[in-house]
Amino acid sequence: MITAVFPGSFDPITLGHTDIINRALPLFDRLIIAIGINVDKKYMFDVEKRIEMIEAVYGNEPKIEVTRYSGLTVDFCHRNQINFILRGLRNPADFEFEKAIAQTNRKLGNIETVFLLTGPETSFISSSIVRDIFHNGGDISKLVPAKIMPIIVNN
Ligand code: ADP
């Protein structure tokens, strides 16, 4: 069974994330969406809410599991028989950052990272822009999956 993990903050999940997830689904038998917990980072939505949002979108997709983890992604991969790390690339800054991490993960953990290029309709979307718009009372409905809107507005 070929398993990948899509690690991230998903604070919150956006149409950029879902574009990558939907396009990756045919490539793997199992896709674990894993929220990485970093105690030094401040999040807008707590981890339970972020999981609830992802499950609202993918709860009926049999290939997808949603979970959380702390520590190194490669250790999480080894504990869970995960073969690949999935990441999305939006721009040169993402590439430079991801390159060092992917090479380190291969060196440290012998885990390959698979990159999918952002789609043209979603390349500008980031969770931080969504948070900023939401924080300032703007309309985020064109940037996030419709199924998470009721969860976000009740936060
Ligand atoms: P992290 O804090 O790990 O970057 P994010 O939730 O911001 O967590 O992103 C998780 C993954 O989703 C990353 O690989 C990121 O590049 C990818 N991603 C986020 N937004 C987009 C987008 N609009 N298009 C393609 N990939 C994206």
- The answer to whether the pTM exceeds 0.85 is yes
Atom of ligand 1 nearest to the CA of 128: 7
What is the structure's pLDDT at 151? 95
**Ligand 1 in reach of 9 Cβ (< 6 A):** yes
CATH number, residue 105: 3.40.50.620
Please identify every stretch of the chain with a pLDDT value under 50, giving residue numbers as ranges.
none
Q: 6, 31 in Cβ contact below 8 A?
A: yes
Residue 67 backbone phi and psi in degrees, to 5: -150, -175
Q: How far is CA 104 from the centre of its chain?
A: 19
Q: 11, 43 in Cβ contact below 8 A?
A: yes
Quick check: helix, strand or coil at residue 137? coil
Domains contained in the chain, number? 1
Q: How far is CA 140 from the centre of its chain?
A: 18
Residue nearest to atom 21 of ligand 1 (CA): 16
pLDDT digits (tens, 9 = 90+) for 129-144: 999 999 999 999 999 9
What's the gap in Å between 139 CA and the centre of ligand 1? 21
What is the structure's pLDDT at 39? 87
Q: Which domain holds residue 96?
A: 3-153
Quick check: helix, strand or coil at residue 123? coil
pLDDT digits (tens, 9 = 90+) for 145-155: 999 999 998 77
